[in-house]
């Protein structure tokens, strides 16, 4: 039901970013979310424009972290997924 109502790839990526113990660089996000690097790059640019993520350059890598607003959005998506998956 969740994948019917929400776009799976962006939601999956936001759920990964909830793990703030991991250093999420773009290629690692692409690999762990089963998407392409180009898709992740474009999505992160859009999410940064909306104030949901910060992208920090460290050497050759760009590290992505959720902002406070992004954490709130990711938590809401997590809650919605749990409610919809358990109601079936």
CATH number at residue 75: 1.10.10.10
**Looking at the 3D structure of the chain, how many domains does it have?**
1
- Quick one: pLDDT at residue 23? 92
pTM: 0.85
- CA 75 distance to own-chain centroid: 11
- Quick one: pLDDT at residue 2? 54
Instruction: Determine contact, residues 64/26, Cβ cutoff 8 Å.
Output: yes
Compute the radius of gyration of the chain from its Cα atoms. 13
Average model confidence (pLDDT) for the chain?
A: 90
Range of the domain at 45: 2-86
Residue 2: CB atoms within 10 A of its CB come to 15
**For the segment 32-63, what is each residue's pLDDT rounded down to a tens digit?**
999 999 999 999 999 999 999 999 998 989 99
Flag whether pLDDT at 5 surpasses 70: no
Q: What percent of the chain has pLDDT over 70?
A: 92
């Amino acid at each position: 039901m969740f994948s019917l109502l929400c776009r799976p790839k962006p939601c999956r990526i936001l759920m990964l970013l909830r793990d703030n113990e991991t250093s999420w660089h773009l290629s690692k996000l692409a690999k762990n979310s089963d998407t392409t690097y180009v898709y992740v790059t474009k999505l992160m640019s859009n999410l940064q424009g909306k104030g949901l993520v910060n992208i920090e350059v460290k050497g050759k890598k760009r590290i992505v972290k959720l902002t406070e607003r992004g954490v709130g959005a990711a938590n809401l998506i997590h809650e919605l997924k749990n409610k919809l998956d358990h109601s079936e």
